[in-house]
Amino acid sequence: MATTNPAPQAESSAWSGTAIVAVIATAVALAHLLTNGRYGFHRDELQTLSDALHLDWGFVAYPPFTPFVERISMAMFGTSLVGLRLFSVIASAAAVVLTGRMAAEAGGGRWAQATAALAVALSPLPLFEGTEFQYTTFDYLWWVLIAWLVMKLLNSANPRWLVPIGAAIGIGLQTKYTMAFYVAGIIAGMVLTPARRYFLSRWFWAGAALAGIIFLPNLIWQFRHGFISLHFLQSIHARDVGEGRAQHFWSYQLLVNISRVAAPLALIGLAVSMAQRRYRMLACMYLVPLLVMAIAKGRFYYVGAAYPMLIALGAAAAERGLSLLPRMWRWCVEGGYLAGLIAWGVLTSTVVLPLAAAGPLRVRALANNGDLREEIGWDDLVRAVAGVRDSLPPEQQRSLGVLVGNYGEEGAIEVMGRAYGLPTPISTTNSAWLRGYPLSPPQTLIVVGHSRRWLEKNFTACRVAGHNGNSLGVHNEEADDHPDIFVCGPPLLPWPEFWAQNLSYG
């Protein structure tokens, strides 16, 4: 197998592959910017917003990168949905651009670059990543960035590329711990391919040291907190398996991580990466995390960011194969495939994106997208809690707290409740448990997110004082599982004992 870098096809048109990819990324970014303000915050975003107000070198649910970026967003845009999600949009667009650049690295011309960019931009998972501010969006970007850097390394044989690879790994570990599985794939790829020679390079050890230095503050934080995130991950994994969230792992690889129309490109790319000696390291970077996650019963999207490199390789290989056809046939096949990608992407967007604030498109999106349903009703919750507070006599309002049952409620009360003068919520979930309860514990509690049975077991004098739901009548976790708002006295146990016994993960 030849080891020289395949030369990109000549681009005689004024529109280069890079320009076309930039237009695609810009178009998708604009679609997000125009629709991201339609509904409300997702419960996961509300957790990040809450943690962003309490910056640290670590959090129970994730490393510190995402809350840090969200703190910057809050300083710039306040609580604007479009503003707070801007960095997610930028990250998603960057992943699309990098996919196009990987196709160029693989020798692809305009069609290959545009096709690879469209295949990623319009697939369900990457399209979703631009709709919300979540650590998975930045994790996706770092995986794609690392794949591009590895391709630069393999094509140039210049070990200096190992330094930016190390930097990207370090930032990735500060974003999401599943980066460790990608690193396992990188190391396996080096061991099993001619790239093993880079173990002897000082640039490899410089990159490894840089990754370690970047990740070190969070590692120290974990050590100081008894590696609490490990306990969190174990608990969440057991919950996911028990609730069936790990099901459909294999089918969703080709149905959600990428689209049905993009799947052939990924399969071609996998075949190319396994067949070509130069790119076998990329095959390991995909197969190792995939197999580990499958064996461990991880969720399907944990390896979703490994597909852009395969799609890029597949698009470049498909372009070379189609070049053997007569020009008219080649144009028909290339144009037809692009049309299929776009048509399927438009259909996908009606489910993934909040395209409409009302009407049939909203009905379709909410019926098929549980994440969008979780964006509905948080403002209603905050108003209801404020209404319960206002109904209490002054002596109870003077020593009042709001106890919440999950991190969505925590973020909603802490961020959106400011407009109503609500106190900082009390929560035993994730990092809020580490932050503790007020130094002067309240004597009266408004409680949301807990069952009557649990409250009667743990608190004094509880009564239903209001109801939680949403004005749109949308069925989601808050409306269906936590419909009642209670007013209670203090816990039956002293606060320190109650707190020590009620750490929860979610």
β 400-404/444-447 pair status: parallel
1 occurs within a structural domain: no
The answer to whether the CB of 144 falls within 8 A of the CB of 160 is no
pLDDT tens digits along 448-460: 999 999 999 999 9
438 occurs within a structural domain: yes
Is residue 274 domain-shared with residue 406, that is, in the same domain? no
Is residue 299 domain-shared with residue 222, that is, in the same domain? yes
Is residue 284 domain-shared with residue 402, that is, in the same domain? no
Is residue 24 domain-shared with residue 165, that is, in the same domain? yes
12 occurs within a structural domain: no
362 occurs within a structural domain: no
What domain range includes position 326?
Answer: 17-352
Distance CA 158, CA 152 (A): 8
pLDDT over 90 (residue 383)? yes
Is residue 398 domain-shared with residue 307, that is, in the same domain? no
Q: Structural domain tally of the chain?
A: 2
Element (H, E) at 231: helix 228-242
Is residue 336 domain-shared with residue 441, that is, in the same domain? no
pLDDT of 9: 46
pLDDT tens digits along 250-309: 999 999 999 999 999 999 999 999 999 999 999 999 999 999 999 999 999 999 999 999
Rounded to the nearest 5°, which phi and psi values hold at 227?
50, 50
Is residue 142 domain-shared with residue 40, that is, in the same domain? yes
35 occurs within a structural domain: yes
pLDDT tens digits along 332-345: 999 999 999 999 99
Single out the residue in 294, 318, 352 at which a domain terminates. 352
The string of DSSP codes covering 342-405 is HHHHHHHHHHHS---SSSHHHHHHHHH-HHHHTTSSHHHHHHHHHHHHHHS-HHHHTTEEEEES
Span 210-221, average pLDDT: 98
pLDDT tens digits along 458-467: 999 999 999 9
Is residue 315 domain-shared with residue 449, that is, in the same domain? no
Is residue 93 domain-shared with residue 185, that is, in the same domain? yes
45 occurs within a structural domain: yes
Is residue 257 domain-shared with residue 386, that is, in the same domain? no
| Residues 6 or more apart in contact with residue 441 via CB below 8 angstroms | 401, 490, 495
Distance CA 407, CA 428 (A): 9
Span 121-134, average pLDDT: 96
Average pLDDT for the chain: 95
| Strands laid side by side in the 400-404 sheet | 426-427, 400-404, 444-447, 484-488, 463-467
Single out the residue in 352, 387, 409 at which a domain terminates. 352
Distance CA 373, CA 369 (A): 7
Helix spans in 53-178 (H): 65-77, 81-84, 86-105, 110-121, 124-129, 135-156, 162-173
- Provide the pLDDT confidence category of residue 36 given band limits of 50, 70 and 90: very high
39 occurs within a structural domain: yes
Instruction: Extract the runs of DSSP E, i.e. beta strands, from 228-313.
Output: none
Q: Give the CA-trace dihedral at 178, 180, 181, 187, to 10 degrees.
A: 160
Is residue 388 domain-shared with residue 440, that is, in the same domain? yes
